[in-house]
Structure 1
Amino acid sequence: MLQHLSQGLRTGVAVALLTVATFAAAQGVRGDHPDTYVVVRGDTLWGIAGKFLQRPWLWPEIWQANPQIQNPHLIYPGDVISLSYLNRVGVEPGPREEAPINAIPLSDIEPFLKNRSVVDGFDHLPHVVALEDSRLRASPERRIYVANLDHASAGERYAVIRPSAEFYGTPRARGLDYRGARIHGDTNLWRDLVPRGRDDAFLGYEVVQMGVGTVVHGPTEISDMSVIELDLEGLDVRAGDRVVPVNPQPYDLQFFPHPPSGDALSRDAQVIAVADALTSGGPRDVIAISAGSADGVDNGTVFSIWRSGPYTIDRVYHPDTSRINDASNPGARRYRMPDEYASHAMVFRTFDHVSYALVMESTKPTRVGYALKHPDAQY
């Protein structure tokens, strides 16, 4: 009897889960969706989902409502997406002559995918001592001279990186000079304009790839330097830059949008930097957030980004107070204002405690210090 009860329970749970998934599919589909859609080259998972789903990050849940789909992670040009049967999404496979489509347009973010990473330290890495012709900057196709690259062999490929910032759990990234030292006089005045997080731990150093080159030869009898010739494309290299082996595939080629895990949400993460900007970014800008793979964040994780409600003086009852409005911390005679939605962002590269995300859509600028929430959060 217990066995029959167990089997019945499993069957009931399975039916319930399928019902829930089907309900999620019906609730997530736009009312004006077409009956079918043919995937074309240049599509992205986010873009397609936005055509017929109210919430693009529900893509996996919609797919789970259709067990006939063999691999929900791989959608190809020529596939026919059908939405005509009870608002359920299904796919009729097309030819498999081209590569599967990606979650986001990689061409928009490829410089950031390749050029920015987070490391625990860099003092131990080989570094550039001098440049060809004793130049101050080495342009593409010039040679650089590297110390402590003792076992380099001709033909090996290396990337030249430069430390750019220190990341912390609260938005107080410190700028670094080309040697990786803190910039003298850099006080980060703007950090006092954003709320403090609960965790002020050091998260890592951001390093930016300046160029890639090929080893010409290693140390010789007359010099301890290894010689690297830079590729045609790249940025200016200078003495003090570090050198690391080239990572042939530094990021996932295939991932899909999905809501964050409970562990990721419990991290109380914030925006800690905006690539190539001081404090603000918009759609297709890259941001750094204070949560990574160790916190349950993976590629494709979608967050909503919110301005934390400031503490504001009620001037009706306190018209003569000298206290400032819009303070980031509580105080006498201040009221906490509601949080305000700013944007959605999707993670595309993760490290232990830091991730990079692409701002997908927004109603206002995304700023350093803004909080990360579930993509369906209402307040």
Structure 2
Amino acid sequence: MSMNIRNTFIGLLTLIACTAATAGKKEVVLNPQHPDRYVVTAGDTLWDVAGKFLKDPWQWPDLWETGKKAERPLRPGDVLTLISVAGVPRLQLNGGNGTPPPRRPGDPLPEVKLSPKVRASDMAAEIPLIPFNLVRAFLSSPKVVTHEELDNAPYVLELPDNRHFAGTGDKLYVRGLEDSSQDTFGVFHKGSLYKDGESGEELGYEAMSVGTARLTQEGDPAIFTLANTTREAVVGDRLLPQDDERIPSSYEPRPPAAEIKGHIIAFLDSDTTKVRGGASSIGQYAVVALDRGSSDGLEVGHVLEIDSRGKAVKDKVSGIPFDSPDLPNEAAGSLLIFRCFERVSYGLIMHTSRELRLGDVVRTPN
């Protein structure tokens, strides 16, 4: 192969690769009400700040000067300025000498020549991506387990002195302990059954954490002592091995690579970390369970769009008996996945334009 042909071939491959990468990347769309300049304040979340500039806040990394995320986390006092680089909207951090000239609606963004670095600032602590106080209770508890996992797990047979409840420091009499090589177990209470929102297939049970217990005497029954508790232990609670599940302290919002379509199957209560009973609808910053998980391609940090599921309505005009078509699904909001199990995941509602209900559809953003 001659040098010219080889160079042409390499150039063609590079062009194809670049074109494919560009084609797979969604165009950045600004929020129609975006500011030209914004000062980060205490209490802000990164998602809220991103939403001030973008229609889809998860596109935050694409808005920066360099076409990638900022060189450091944002902090209160940081100044964000919306600029234009070769006709493409970009954000500049602590750049320029203050407020840009007034701009009328429809005027182009000011063109700015970029310096290679942004200035760092020794301000207060970085702002979080999401309000972590809303999801903290769900980061280690509860968990989702199969029916078989629960049935085969050791269980609390009896409590001391015929008591109905036990707490930190109390003994537990436990049956079914086959492996005593581990001396510390998590104690869990069987919660609600999760089912697929379309087929009704069983996906697993919510296992609500009671606390941890240490083996103090082997046998059948064995004796355990509750080391710490978040709720009272009762007869029938199950003991599961302590796992090394790694819970991320931060998230990188992004759409799933796979085409996901699932449903909201439960509303979760942040005070008791259990399925909320009686609630028919929820709004922003509610925690929900979905009938899709890691086996479907979901990961922590994935962003999904929510469609309000169209209800069936009787056609009073057609005159056809039992003619009840479904209204179309309508865009209703977005959520961020913050914890994933094999077939179920937990998400935080980040934005909603209407009340959400059980059965509403979640999907990969278009």
- TM-score bracket for the superposition, by shorter chain length: 0.7 to 0.9
CA contact 1:78–1:95 (8 Å) conserved in 2: no
Q: 1:245 to 1:8 in 2, by over 3 A?
A: same
Q: In the TM superposition, what is the alpha-carbon distance from 1:314 to its structure 2 partner?
A: 2.5
Q: In 2, Cα distance between the equivalents of 1:350 and 1:234?
A: 22
Deviations 1:194-218 (A, max 9, x none): xxx2x443322221112x2342613
**Cross-structure match for 1:185:** none
CA contact 1:153–1:217 (8 Å) conserved in 2: no
**Cross-structure match for 1:357:** 347
Selected match of 1:84 from 79, 82, 85 = 82
Identify which range, 45-54 or 76-85, moves more after superposition.
76-85
Q: 1:10 to 1:90 in 2, by over 3 A?
A: farther
**Cross-structure match for 1:45:** 46
- 2:137 counterpart of 1:137: no
**Cross-structure match for 1:55:** 56
- 2:360 counterpart of 1:370: yes
Q: In 2, Cα distance between the equivalents of 1:283 and 1:68?
A: 28
Q: 1:68 to 1:347 in 2, by over 3 A?
A: closer
Deviations 1:336-358 (A, max 9, x none): 32223333221111111111111
3-state SS of paired residue (2:140): helix
Q: 1:295 to 1:218 in 2, by over 3 A?
A: same
**Cross-structure match for 2:222:** 225
Q: Give structure 2 stretches of 5+ with no counterpart.
A: 94-117, 269-275
Selected match of 1:162 from 183, 189, 203 = 189
Q: 1:355 to 1:140 in 2, by over 3 A?
A: same
Q: In 2, Cα distance between the equivalents of 1:217 and 1:160?
A: 15
**One-letter amino acid matched to 2:191:** S
**One-letter amino acid matched to 1:110:** R
Q: 1:94 to 1:128 in 2, by over 3 A?
A: farther
Computed over aligned residues only, the root mean square deviation of the Cα atoms, in angstroms, reads 3.5
Deviations 1:267-300 (A, max 9, x none): x311122222345332222211111111111112
CA contact 1:34–1:83 (8 Å) conserved in 2: yes
Q: 1:244 to 1:76 in 2, by over 3 A?
A: farther
Deviations 1:276-327 (A, max 9, x none): 2345332222211111111111112222222322332332343xx7x6xxxx
CA contact 2:61–2:70 (8 Å) conserved in 1: no
3-state SS of paired residue (2:150): coil
**Cross-structure match for 1:202:** 202
- 2:285 counterpart of 1:258: no
Q: 1:130 to 1:361 in 2, by over 3 A?
A: same
Q: In 2, Cα distance between the equivalents of 1:23 and 1:291?
A: 24
Q: 1:273 to 1:127 in 2, by over 3 A?
A: same
Q: In 2, Cα distance between the equivalents of 1:22 and 1:295?
A: 22
CA contact 1:291–1:353 (8 Å) conserved in 2: yes
Q: In the TM superposition, what is the alpha-carbon distance from 1:48 to its structure 2 partner?
A: 2.3
- 2:152 counterpart of 1:124: yes
Q: In the TM superposition, what is the alpha-carbon distance from 1:257 to its structure 2 partner?
A: 2.0
% same residue = 26
CA contact 1:216–1:229 (8 Å) conserved in 2: no
CA contact 1:78–1:94 (8 Å) conserved in 2: no
**One-letter amino acid matched to 1:204:** G
CA contact 1:159–1:245 (8 Å) conserved in 2: yes
**Cross-structure match for 1:35:** 37
Selected match of 1:113 from 139, 146, 157 = 139
Q: In the TM superposition, what is the alpha-carbon distance from 1:76 to its structure 2 partner?
A: 4.8
TM-score by length of 2: 0.74
CA contact 1:149–1:218 (8 Å) conserved in 2: no
CA contact 1:152–1:218 (8 Å) conserved in 2: no
**One-letter amino acid matched to 2:234:** R
3-state SS of paired residue (2:339): strand
Q: In 2, Cα distance between the equivalents of 1:82 and 1:201?
A: 48
Q: In 1, Cα distance between the equivalents of 2:191 and 2:57?
A: 34
**Cross-structure match for 1:2:** 5
Q: In 1, Cα distance between the equivalents of 2:76 and 2:131?
A: 18
CA contact 2:306–2:334 (8 Å) conserved in 1: yes
Q: In the TM superposition, what is the alpha-carbon distance from 1:133 to its structure 2 partner?
A: 2.8
Q: In 1, Cα distance between the equivalents of 2:230 and 2:209?
A: 9
Q: Give structure 1 stretches of 5+ with no counterpart.
A: 171-196, 324-331
**One-letter amino acid matched to 1:125:** A
Q: 1:249 to 1:102 in 2, by over 3 A?
A: farther
3-state SS of paired residue (1:139): coil
